[in-house]
């Protein structure tokens, strides 16, 4: 169709115009589509780029999952909490996001005045990813910092170890570092890569954290520590330690070593003398070692409980003569040698038995190896591989060789447990589990003889001070007063005292060792030998702890009469 204007102008082709407009529209659509494709390509490329970036999930190289991980709670044998995790906020920064470093430093220093401005400035400056500012803060501090509104600051919630009992069991628990990793003690044991141990206590990797139950009774633990604290004041001692064991199961019921520290403040563990003397200290334990000599000699059959030995004169070795501290200067029966703690009589018993047999027995009862207790802080003994004549003589009454108090405690425990040794443990153990581990060290008859001798010493010998305070609980034991070695020589003025005991002797259930380092006389009327301090502290602990352990007092004289061996009745 062609239109002609009135003036006779050129006709307009409507069809062509429409085609032109259609072509323009199509071109515009193509450009829009192309633009959209480019936009989607850019977005897609960016998404691919972002997806290929590994997100930084660490703070100064430490994974956040590790930071926020918890440790299992630790309970005593009665379910009382000994260690728990509490959740606390820790402040970190992303320096690249800090807009005004000086302003951030000024505001943070007002909330955290203990942090210097130089420290804050160094942490908030630069292009670092994530850095710690202050860890283990309180919720109140967290709220104040949030109110500052400083971009680039944030919090991560992590676990902080808390010990409800404070110092009561510090040498057992020890502590953890800022990253909640065990430093020493049972906390360190729990972190060891020992799969068998982890599984045995219900902590296999990947499983839900199950509370760890220890063999410790916190009631007894508190009593023991309080009495040891009292001993430091009462006897002006430099250190003291004690441990109690269930002789049937090998479970450590209580263990304390002073001076100690506060596990809630791990830095206090670095102060001098904060070691576990029961497991990591080795000492000459003096006449407590006579129980070892008597057990081996009597079990051999070479020495009998009815024998007698001449203690009228000292035993001479070259220029040296060994005598008794309180000599009776007469022939003594075997029970009298033990009761009067005769060095001379003990040497004669050992010599009758034979020094090589004596050395072999020491090895048999495990004194040459470190204790199998699960705590990492432990040491071996210092015992000559072969005894000379004089070496065997002094060793028979506890001089010239050094062992840990835990070694002595384990041996005494076996001697009164019908002769059966069971490895000590810090974890809870059933009677059935313990019996499967029994290792006979001496015969049941020898065990009966040792129980009689230990009870005799408490009634009539150096253990009478312990009996005074623990009357009715039928305690028995052996004291040991050893002169300390100073600059390579024995000092006549400084003692290391010990008392190894068990109770109740008519049916033994628990054994205990108490050691006091450098005690002095409580008053001019008392003494400084072991009976006056280590013995007394033992009696005080038993007096308070026995009722909690289900042991009732019994004052029947028939119980002691029944302990007397048939051969001596």
| pLDDT single digits (tens) 236-290 | 999 999 999 999 999 999 999 999 999 998 889 888 888 999 999 999 999 999 9
Residue 48 resides in a domain: no
- Token output for 95: 């320096």
CATH number of the domain bearing residue 278: 3.40.710.10
The domain of 399 spans 221-568
Shared domain check, 248 and 202: no
Looking at residue 3, its pLDDT comes to 44
pLDDT the model gives residue 157: 83
Judged by phi (left if over 0) then psi (alpha if -120 to 50, else beta), residue 366 lies in left
Which of 213, 247, 268 marks a domain boundary?
213
In whole angstroms, give the CA distance from residue 203 to residue 193: 11
User: Which of 186, 213, 240 is the C-terminal boundary of a domain?
Assistant: 213
Examine the domain organization and report whether 122 and 252 are in the same domain: no
**Domain contains 19:** no
**Are 349 and 396 in contact, with CB atoms under 8 Å apart?**
yes
Please report, for the domain that includes residue 191, its CATH number. 3.90.1310.10
Helix/strand/coil for 3: strand
Nearest to 108 by CA among 98, 118, 100, 117: 117
Q: Are 386 and 357 in contact (CB under 8 A)?
A: no
Within a domain: 41: no
Considering the domain architecture, whether residues 373 and 293 belong to the same structural domain is answered as: yes
- Of 350, 370, 371, the C-alpha closest to 361 is 350
Q: What is the pTM of this model?
A: 0.81
Residue that finishes a domain, picked among 213, 241, 263: 213
Q: Residue 9 domain-assigned?
A: no
Walk along the chain (569 residues) in steps of 10 and give the mean pLDDT of each run. 48 59 73 81 68 54 57 92 88 86 90 91 82 87 89 85 92 85 88 50 50 95 97 96 98 97 89 91 95 97 96 89 87 96 96 97 95 92 94 94 96 98 96 96 97 97 94 96 83 90 96 97 92 96 96 91 90
Query: Based on the domain organization, do 461 and 518 belong to the same domain?
Result: yes
Same domain, 273 and 393: yes
Question: Which two structure tokens, joined as six digits, stand for 292?
Answer: 């070892």
Asked if residues 519 and 237 have their Cβ atoms less than 8 Å apart, the reply is yes
The residues facing 511 across adjacent strands are: 245, 502
Peptide bond into 259 cis (omega under 30): yes
pLDDT of 203 reads 42
> What is the distance between the alpha carbons of residues 218 and 127, in angstroms, rounded to a whole number?
51
Q: How far, in Å, are 76, 222, 332, 383 from residue 165 at the CA level?
A: 11, 9, 50, 37
In a domain, 385, yes or no: yes
91 occurs within a structural domain: yes
Collect all residues with Cβ–Cβ distance below 8 Å to 42 and sequence separation of at least 6. none
Q: How much is the pLDDT for 40? A: 81
Q: What is the pLDDT of residue 218?
A: 97
Helix or strand or coil: residue 418? coil
Kindly state whether residues 172 and 307 are assigned to the same domain. Answer: no
pLDDT of residue 202: 42
Question: How high is the pLDDT of residue 62?
Answer: 57
Residues 476, 482, 483: CA angle, nearest 5 degrees? 160
Does residue 490 sit in the same domain as residue 539? yes
Task: Say if residue 190 is in the same domain as residue 338.
Answer: no
Residues 75 and 165 placed together within one structural domain of the fold: yes
Q: What is the pLDDT of residue 332?
A: 96
The tokens of 136 are what? 């283990």
Looking at the fold, whether 193 and 232 belong to one and the same domain comes out as no
For residue 45, tell me if it sits in a domain.
Answer: no
Say what the alpha-carbon torsion angle 217, 473, 304, 405 is, to the nearest 10 degrees. 30
Residue 10, domain member (yes or no): no
Q: Specify the number of domains making up the chain.
A: 2
Contact at 8 Å (CB) between 454 and 502?
yes
Positive or negative torsion for Cα 557, 562, 565, 569? positive
Please check whether residues 119 and 173 belong to one and the same domain. yes
Number of residues assigned to the chain = 569
Which residues face 3 on adjacent strands? Answer: 12
Write out the two tokens for 155: 């919090």
CA dist list (Å): 431 to 244, 247, 382, 435, 503: 17, 11, 33, 6, 18
pLDDT confidence of residue 557: 86
Residue 410 sits in the same domain as residue 337:
yes
């Amino acid at each position: 169709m062609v239109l002609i204007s009135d003036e006779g102008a050129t006709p307009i082709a409507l069809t062509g115009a429409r085609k032109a407009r259609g072509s323009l529209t199509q071109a515009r659509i193509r450009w829009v589509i192309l633009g959209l494709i480019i936009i989607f390509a850019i977005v897609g490329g960016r998404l691919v780029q972002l997806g290929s970036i590994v997100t930084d999930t660490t703070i100064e190289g430490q994974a956040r999952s590790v930071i926020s991980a918890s440790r299992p709670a630790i309970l005593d044998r009665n379910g009382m909490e000994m260690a728990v995790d509490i959740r606390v906020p820790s402040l970190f920064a992303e320096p690249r996001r800090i807009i005004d470093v000086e302003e951030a430093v000024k505001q943070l220093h007002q909330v955290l005045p203990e942090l210097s401005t130089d420290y804050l400035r160094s942490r908030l400056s630069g292009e670092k990813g994530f850095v710690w500012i202050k860890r283990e803060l309180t919720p109140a501090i967290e709220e104040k910092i949030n109110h500052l509104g400083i971009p680039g600051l944030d919090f991560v919630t992590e676990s902080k170890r808390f010990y409800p009992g404070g110092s009561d069991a510090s040498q057992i628990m020890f502590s953890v570092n800022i990253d909640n990793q065990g430093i020493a003690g049972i906390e360190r044991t729990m972190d060891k890569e020992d799969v068998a141990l982890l599984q045995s206590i219900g902590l296999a990797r990947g499983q839900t954290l199950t509370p760890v139950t220890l063999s410790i009774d916190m009631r007894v633990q508190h009593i023991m520590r309080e009495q040891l604290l009292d001993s430091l004041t009462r006897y002006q001692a430099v250190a003291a330690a004690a441990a109690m064991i269930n002789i049937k199961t090998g479970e450590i019921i209580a263990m304390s070593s002073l001076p100690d520290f506060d596990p809630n403040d791990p830095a206090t563990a670095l102060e001098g003398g904060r070691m576990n003397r029961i497991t990591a200290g080795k000492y000459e334990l003096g006449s407590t070692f006579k129980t070892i000599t008597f057990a081996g000699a009597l079990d051999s059959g070479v020495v009998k409980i009815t024998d007698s030995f001449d203690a009228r004169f000292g035993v001479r070795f070259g220029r040296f003569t060994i005598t008794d501290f309180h000599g009776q200067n007469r022939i003594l029966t075997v029970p009298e040698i033990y009761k009067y703690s005769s060095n001379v009589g003990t040497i004669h018993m050992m010599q009758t038995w034979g020094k090589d047999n004596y050395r072999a027995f020491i090895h048999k009862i495990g004194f040459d190896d470190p204790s199998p207790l699960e705590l990492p802080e432990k040491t071996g003994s210092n015992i000559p591989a072969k005894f000379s004549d004089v070496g065997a003589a002094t060793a028979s009454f506890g001089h010239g060789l050094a062992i840990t108090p835990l070694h002595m405690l384990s041996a005494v425990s076996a001697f009164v447990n019908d002769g059966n040794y069971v490895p000590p443990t810090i974890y809870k153990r059933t009677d059935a589990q313990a019996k499967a581990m029994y290792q006979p060290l001496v015969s049941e008859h020898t065990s009966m003889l040792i129980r009689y001798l230990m009870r005799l010493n408490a009634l009539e010998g150096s253990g009478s001070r312990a009996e005074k305070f623990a009357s009715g609980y039928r305690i028995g034991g052996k004291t040991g007063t050893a002169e300390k070695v100073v600059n390579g020589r024995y000092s006549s003025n400084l003692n290391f005292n010990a008392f190894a005991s068990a109770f109740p002797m008519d049916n033994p259930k628990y054994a205990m060792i108490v050691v006091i380092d450098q005690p002095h006389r409580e008053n001019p009327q008392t003494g400084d030998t072991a009976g006056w301090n280590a013995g007394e502290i033992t009696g005080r602990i038993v007096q308070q702890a026995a009722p909690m352990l289900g042991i009732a007092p019994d004052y029947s004289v028939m119980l002691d009469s029944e302990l007397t061996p048939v051969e001596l009745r």
